[in-house]
Structure 1
Amino acid sequence: MTPPETHPSHPTDQSVHTDAEVDAWSDEELEEEPVFQTDESSALIGSVIVHLVIILALALAPLHEIIDEEAVVLVSPPTTELTEEIKIVEDVTYDEPADEVGAASETETAMAEASAQDFSEIPVITNPIEMEKSDFADIMVTEVFQPSTAQFDRLTQRTGKTGVQTAGAVGAVDRLSFEILQSLEERKTLVVWLFDQSGSLHRQRQQIRDRFDRIYTEVGIANPEIDRAKQKRGLMDHDAPLLTSIIGFGGQQPMLFTDPPTQDIEEIKTILDDIEVDTSGVENVFTAVKTACDKYKTLRKSRGGNGPQRNVMFVVVTDERGDDDNQLEPAIDACRRSGIPVHVIGVPAPFGRKHTFVKYVDPDPKFDQSPQFAQVDQGPESLIPEYVQVGFTADFKDEKPIDSGFGPYALTRLCYETNGIFFAVHPNRAMNRTVSRRELSPFASELTRFFDAEVMKPYRPDYLSPGDYRARVEASPLRRALVTAANQSKPVQGIGRPRTRFVQTDVARLAGELTIAQQGAAKLEPTLQRLAQILEPGMKLRDAEESPRWRAGYDLAMGRVLAQKVRTETYNAMLAKAKRGMTFEKEKNNTWLLKPADEISVGSKWEREAKKASDLLNNVVSEHDGTPWAYLAQQELAVPIGWKWEETFTDLTPRPNRPAGNNNNNNPPQDDKKRMLKKAPKRPVPKL
């Protein structure tokens, strides 16, 4: 049976079948509609016609050019003048009084400082531009470019200057005249002068007293009109632009000499002439500042939304650090709350020390005028000492005091926190050389070396509250080690003029003399070893310390302690070596000399420590040039760390006795008349 015939399916058959199921368009739907019969075309044509009509209307309107017959066209050729380069002075030292103040002074713009809320180190002042008066308008060019001035009663996030150096109080007063002038431009001002009544400040008080005429003249009040009626009734003259108050302080309660404040210059001079000298030797300066703030803080309160009644500023004049630093924080808080800046005409603090000496000359010419040196408290420049006192000899006084570059910590911080200025006054300030005692002016502190303020800026101490300071020290092993070493019970003393000459008459006697010489070094070794152990933890963090002051302090301390340690221990070891016996190379010689040398011949351990000390000290010299740390490191490097034995000959032959008689050396006759002259009586130095 034959199967039915089959035909294979084709793809085209399937597609045709699918198309057949789609609805086809009719012929009417596919016929095109005329263009001009559509709604869109009609709207387009209408819009074009309307716009053409508007354009034609505007084209037919008459056009007239308005000409201002009074207009003037100025044509100026391009300027060919050369512009002079202006060099900005970063800082100014006021050594001599200026004839004028502020921008009118000889120092011009350098006398002015920017007074924006964030304190600027670069002085900025606008230059007045002279222009002819216009008939059309007043052109206020200087008003347009007037610098912004911070409100006087806003001291938040604003700090004062801490290292302004001057050779005399007069230069500081001239600089303060500019501050007074700035204050007067804002509102009426009261300046409160707080004078240390100690005898050592006698001459500075007189210098400032003679300068008060100049102050009033420079601020534009040469002859102030005094309301005598109010003066007699003891009332403050609220119309006076500038008033002055005088307060004295010493060991007792502060004394107010002007109540109410005055603008009578002669009265001010008389008060300063009559201030009694305080002989207690105590200066309660911070108590005086707090008392003055409580007295005049009402002048800083806003009255009816018009701001404070007056600006108030304090000027402290003292040559010591103050004995009541427990009142520093209350004084800062009170002045900041009332917006009262505190300026201090003070003295530079000795580097790393609490005390120095003042050249005292009796202020009364009826008494002996020969100089005497008395100890005064003028330091240190930091909250607590950060300098490890390692003397070059047994007596630490032989290491002369040097300038720290800053004022005493508490007074300088008072200025820093209240937006004031600390003036470090020293009449014998000289750079790059040693100042001898003979050069010192009367009442000047003994500082043998001074350092440039610009160089010292990065080395400013940490002006923090005691709590914040100690917290930062505790957070850093390097700082903690340095402060701990620096505040040992007493200064470390090096080998005090060690014996270095030994005559060998017999071996037993030489051994006994060597043993006695070893005793001094043996007593010193434990102290130096303990200091090295205290400082050692900071070595690992030297590179991580960001403060140049702390790095310099640590490297100097560790370098000097290691140098003294090696110098002392190798001295002891060299004497021990000699006791074991040494032979002279020359038969004639009979004496051993122990001389400083760079070589270490008694142990590799000391060689490594000596190299470490030299590396640290050389690092201080290279990285901190021009600072007290570099100066002391150079002195330490000048003394070799090791020792070496040398031999020589000593003549032991007894010298013959000289015959009795004067050998025709007749003394010249004494000047009996001169000897009989009555000398001026000499008074003891009072407590300063």
Structure 2
Amino acid sequence: MKLFENLKQYWRQQTGEDETPLDGDSPAFFVSFFVHLVILMLMGFLALPELNNQVTLTITQNTEEKEKELELEVPEEFFFSEQASEEVGANSVGGVAVALSVAPVVADVSDIPNQEQVDEAEVGNVEVNEAIAVATGLNYSQNQVVKGAAGVGETGAEGAIDRITHEILLSLEERKTLVVWLFDSTASLVPQRKSIHDRFDRIYRELGIIEASGNENFSKHSEPLLSSVIAFGQGVEALTKEPTANLSELKEAIASIKNDESGTENVFYAVHEAAKKYASFRYTTEEKPKPDRNVMIVVVTDEVGSDWKQGLEPTVRMCRRWAMPVYVVGVPAPFGRQETMMKWVDPDPKYDQAPQWGVVEQGPETLYPERIKLAFSGSKIDDDPIDSGFGPYGLTRLAVETGGIYFAVHPNRSVTKEVSRKDTAAYTSHIKSFFDPSVMRKYKPDYVSVQEYDKRVSANMARRKLIEAALSPQLQQMEAPETNFVKRDEASFSNALSEAQKQAAALEPRVNGLYEILRQGESDREKETVLRWQAGYDLAMGRVLAVKVRTESYNAMLAAAKRGLKPKDPKSNTWTLKPDDEISVGSALQKVADRARMYLERVVKDHEGTPWAMLAQQELKDPLGWKWEESFTDVSPMRQGAGAGNAAAPANDAMKMLMKPAPKRPAPKL
């Protein structure tokens, strides 16, 4: 309390006032305050029981704001077109989904340019009906993926006809249909015509079953399916006066086809005339806004067509003008070759049944050859034909551009084994090897016009030089080169080596000429992105380099031998050249050999399961270099009478009567 009194006295001295803030009950207040403060501090230090620390939180949110966040933003304006786009693929009406459904191969990089950015513009609102139209008919079918197919492999005409039957049924879903059958009348097509003749029963039986089931597409049409039969060879002959639905009449027309002995097949002229003849079924006028019928053209042939170069373009235009798809029951084209050999057996059993072979034109699969004509080591010819995976260019392009299908029919088709000439079926060309269609689809040729093809070839120097090299004459490797040299004396040994060099010396300029053509396109090779052109150029360059090394190293080995060979065994007098992987006649040739292997091995690695890889592997089997092996040959003269003996007299067998062989007729022009 004394403290409070001292504070009061100090306040009066400083202020001169009698009353201070500490007068009255103030001292009691402060005392109470400090006492309670001390008590609270003491209680804070005491241990208290642990309390439950779990806290329940309740979070609330404005319901209106939540609904606002979940609302989808719908554009006020959108656009659509009722007109179908002329483009096919990702730019079409169906977008990417349609492009994927019809694409035989999905590219790694899209070939579709980016769309240009356009300025926004105000447009009017568009009213949309609630009804949704469903697509029907041929515009949407499970087989759309093969429309315009470049090569569907079959082992017989029956399989192709069954597929065509299905195409006919699809056409009938849209409207009445006319099928025009065009048959090659050459002798080699006798078995095919008979097979299709017998298959007609199944076609019309299937159609009859569908009609009897009450299918609306038949009930709403009178004579929904008509057919017409035309034969062609050097000329064109209509075997049915008018399109008919009579099965017997159609079969009689096919059976009446006579063999054309000219060997000429003007198939494009026949298709063009058929399209022109039946174009009236496709006419539309103001009174008749829809055509009367669909028209399908089916061609059965086993060659490229004698008139394809002059007849292809106008025939494509004619069929496209009247929307007539062309289906071809044809043959596989030999890889990179125009001709192949067909096995012919006389159909008349009274004559000799021994197989005969005739040359037929069934290729190539491209507009221009894309494979150099170069025989393999030790072979006079360019080896046995192999399948290209596609049909001949002209007929295949006709099918592709009109929306049809090319059926490559071969009875020996197999991707698991090679086919020998002996096993080749009669009336069929010899094709040694076939390839998986799913692999070959990525190597489809360019089915475009001559102008467009030339434009694409000119776009890359490697393509141009490959075509130029492929158009060069056939080039042979050294045919059975001399490899064994016996040294009786220095003069005769040197002469023998010089004679052997002549074959190599004659071949070297031609090989180097072909190499120089291809070398000019080497700078553009790395710019090439199309698999087919990559494989073609690499195979050509690799093979030419391989032949160059073999020929020049052979010549160099002989030249070195003329300068002298040191035998390991003093008795050795014979020197034999053996193929070997080592190049022992200079580093320059070793570098060329390394380049040859690089090209060939790249083909094998990057194009597995293709004709290019098969040919590259065959070239790699033969070593590129040579080595000398020494041995001894006895050159001493033989004693007179040595080796002679009393030969046993031939047995005097009785003459046996032999059956007279059947007469033999030469094979007709195939």
Shared topology, TM-score over 0.5?
Answer: yes
Q: Which residue, out of 450, 464, 468, partners 1:480?
A: 464
Aligned residue runs from structure 1 range 112-261, under 5 A:
120=102, 149-150=138-139, 160-220=148-208, 239-252=222-235, 254-261=236-243
TM-superposition CA deviations, 1:205-238 (whole Å, max 9, x none): 10000000101112236899xxxxxxxxxxxxx9
Q: Report the Cα distance in structure 2 between the residues aligned to 1:183 and 1:487, rounded to whole angstroms.
A: 43
The answer to whether the Cα contact below 8 Å between 1:191 and 1:315 also exists between their aligned partners in 2 is: yes
Structure 1 match to 2:324: 340
Q: Secondary structure at the match of 1:542?
A: helix
User: Aligned AA for 1:482?
Assistant: L
Q: Which residue, out of 242, 266, 271, partners 1:284?
A: 266
TM-superposition CA deviations, 1:62-114 (whole Å, max 9, x none): xxxxxxxxxxxxxxxxxxxxxxxxxxxxxxxxxxxxxxxxxxxxxxxxxxxxx
The answer to whether the Cα contact below 8 Å between 1:163 and 1:407 also exists between their aligned partners in 2 is: yes
Tell me the CA shift for residue 541 of structure 1: 2.2
Q: Which residue, out of 351, 358, 362, partners 1:367?
A: 351
Q: Secondary structure at the match of 1:473?
A: helix
Q: Which residue, out of 639, 646, 658, partners 2:629?
A: 646
2:259 counterpart of 1:274: no
The answer to whether the Cα contact below 8 Å between 1:321 and 1:379 also exists between their aligned partners in 2 is: yes
Q: Report the Cα distance in structure 1 between the residues aligned to 2:184 and 2:284, rounded to whole angstroms.
A: 32
Q: Report the Cα distance in structure 2 between the residues aligned to 1:546 and 1:351, rounded to whole angstroms.
A: 21
Tell me the CA shift for residue 159 of structure 1: 5.9
Q: Report the Cα distance in structure 2 between the residues aligned to 1:658 and 1:263, rounded to whole angstroms.
A: 83
Q: Report the Cα distance in structure 2 between the residues aligned to 1:214 and 1:651, rounded to whole angstroms.
A: 76
User: Aligned AA for 2:515?
Assistant: A
Tell me the CA shift for residue 636 of structure 1: 0.2
Structure 1 match to 2:45: none
TM-score, normalization by structure 2: 0.76
Q: 1:669 to 1:147 in 2, by over 3 A?
A: farther
TM-score, normalization by structure 1: 0.74
Structure 2 match to 1:666: 651
User: Aligned AA for 2:392?
Assistant: P
Tell me the CA shift for residue 150 of structure 1: 2.1
2:572 counterpart of 1:589: yes
The answer to whether the Cα contact below 8 Å between 1:347 and 1:378 also exists between their aligned partners in 2 is: yes
Q: Report the Cα distance in structure 1 between the residues aligned to 2:254 and 2:381, rounded to whole angstroms.
A: 36
* Two-structure CA RMSD over aligned residues (Å): 2.5
Q: Report the Cα distance in structure 1 between the residues aligned to 2:100 and 2:320, rounded to whole angstroms.
A: 16
Structure 2 match to 1:522: 505
Structure 2 match to 1:427: 411
Q: Which residue, out of 351, 355, 364, partners 1:380?
A: 364
Q: Report the Cα distance in structure 2 between the residues aligned to 1:388 and 1:249, rounded to whole angstroms.
A: 34
Structure 1 match to 2:444: 460
Q: Report the Cα distance in structure 2 between the residues aligned to 1:121 and 1:479, rounded to whole angstroms.
A: 25
User: Aligned AA for 2:262?
Assistant: S
Q: Report the Cα distance in structure 2 between the residues aligned to 1:669 and 1:639, rounded to whole angstroms.
A: 52
The answer to whether the Cα contact below 8 Å between 2:303 and 2:362 also exists between their aligned partners in 1 is: yes
Tell me the CA shift for residue 147 of structure 1: 6.0
Structure 2 match to 1:552: 535
Percent same amino acid at aligned positions?
Answer: 50
Q: Which residue, out of 539, 553, 566, partners 1:570?
A: 553
Q: Secondary structure at the match of 1:397?
A: coil
Q: 1:628 to 1:668 in 2, by over 3 A?
A: farther
Tell me the CA shift for residue 495 of structure 1: 0.8
The answer to whether the Cα contact below 8 Å between 1:562 and 1:609 also exists between their aligned partners in 2 is: yes
Q: Secondary structure at the match of 2:327?
A: strand
Q: Report the Cα distance in structure 1 between the residues aligned to 2:98 and 2:183, rounded to whole angstroms.
A: 30
Unpaired runs of at least 5, structure 1: 1-114, 124-142, 225-237
User: Aligned AA for 1:190?
Assistant: L
Tell me the CA shift for residue 385 of structure 1: 0.3
TM-superposition CA deviations, 1:229-282 (whole Å, max 9, x none): xxxxxxxxx931111111111112x11111101122112222222211011111
Q: Report the Cα distance in structure 1 between the residues aligned to 2:563 and 2:629, rounded to whole angstroms.
A: 16
Tell me the CA shift for residue 383 of structure 1: 0.2
User: Aligned AA for 2:324?
Assistant: I
2:295 counterpart of 1:307: no
Unpaired runs of at least 5, structure 2: 1-96, 106-131, 213-220
Q: 1:146 to 1:159 in 2, by over 3 A?
A: closer
Q: Secondary structure at the match of 2:427?
A: coil
2:608 counterpart of 1:625: yes
Q: Report the Cα distance in structure 1 between the residues aligned to 2:133 and 2:262, rounded to whole angstroms.
A: 56
The answer to whether the Cα contact below 8 Å between 1:116 and 1:148 also exists between their aligned partners in 2 is: no
Q: Report the Cα distance in structure 2 between the residues aligned to 1:575 and 1:447, rounded to whole angstroms.
A: 39
Q: 1:467 to 1:396 in 2, by over 3 A?
A: farther
User: Aligned AA for 1:220?
Assistant: G
Q: Secondary structure at the match of 2:429?
A: coil
Tell me the CA shift for residue 197 of structure 1: 0.7
User: Aligned AA for 1:385?
Assistant: P
Q: 1:503 to 1:404 in 2, by over 3 A?
A: same
TM-superposition CA deviations, 1:101-144 (whole Å, max 9, x none): xxxxxxxxxxxxxx979982589xxxxxxxxxxxxxxxxxxx99
The answer to whether the Cα contact below 8 Å between 1:180 and 1:219 also exists between their aligned partners in 2 is: no
Q: Secondary structure at the match of 2:150?
A: strand
Structure 1 match to 2:433: 449
Q: Report the Cα distance in structure 2 between the residues aligned to 1:390 and 1:334, rounded to whole angstroms.
A: 39
Q: Report the Cα distance in structure 1 between the residues aligned to 2:652 and 2:353, rounded to whole angstroms.
A: 30
Structure 1 match to 2:20: none
The answer to whether the Cα contact below 8 Å between 2:138 and 2:174 also exists between their aligned partners in 1 is: no
